[in-house]
Amino acid sequence: MQLESMYQEIILDHYKNPHGRGLREPFEAEVHHVNPTCGDEVTLRIHVEGDTIADVSYEGMGCSISQASISAMYDLVVGKTVPQALGTGEHFMTLMQAKGDPSVAEKLEDELEDAVAFAGVSKYPARIKCALMSWMALKDASARALSTTGGQS
């Protein structure tokens, strides 16, 4: 059974008990992203103070992977600066391109915390987009937030 390698316990926990879910005020930018091949959707708001991410709030519908990925991302990025968060996003992207190579996951473990559990997803090309949707939305939202607040990154 290969399923467990993708659906790690941590992923299922995030899916069933998502962290930070719900749309909150205040926010500087709100984005809506969809995955046109499957119809998964997320609305994501970002609140920055200076260049620190004070809150990320979201509503979405989609599969366990897409929903758990947002929840794990929330844990990772709130409290970080925007450049730090985007750097983490780059690491997550690297993990998604690893084609299941365990050495990549090992190296990224400290940086990605719970999100390293998504390593198994990288073996399933059709699901990588599900895991990446939240990170794409974050990148988009933070760029917009910084351009409206005039923050430097």
- Using CB under 8 A as the binding rule, the residues of this chain from 110 to 129 that contact other proteins are 124, 127
Q: Judged by CB under 8 A, which stretch of 4-12, 20-28, 103-111, 133-141 contacts other proteins? A: 4-12
Question: Closest separation between CB of residue 24 and other proteins, Å?
Answer: 23
Residues 6+ apart with CB under 8 A from 40: 34, 60, 61, 62, 63, 66, 130, 133
How many CB atoms are located within 10 Å of the residue 123 CB? 15
Cβ atoms of residues 133 and 113 within 8 Å: no
Residue 137 contacts other proteins per CB under 8 A: no
Residue 22 contacts other proteins per CB under 8 A: no
Q: Judged by CB under 8 A, which stretch of 21-29, 60-68, 71-79, 102-110 contacts other proteins? A: 60-68
What is residue 149's DSSP assignment? H
Residue 9 contacts other proteins per CB under 8 A: no
Bridge partner list, 44: 31, 58
Residues that bind other proteins (CB under 8 A): 1-3, 6-7, 12, 37-41, 61-66, 124, 127, 130
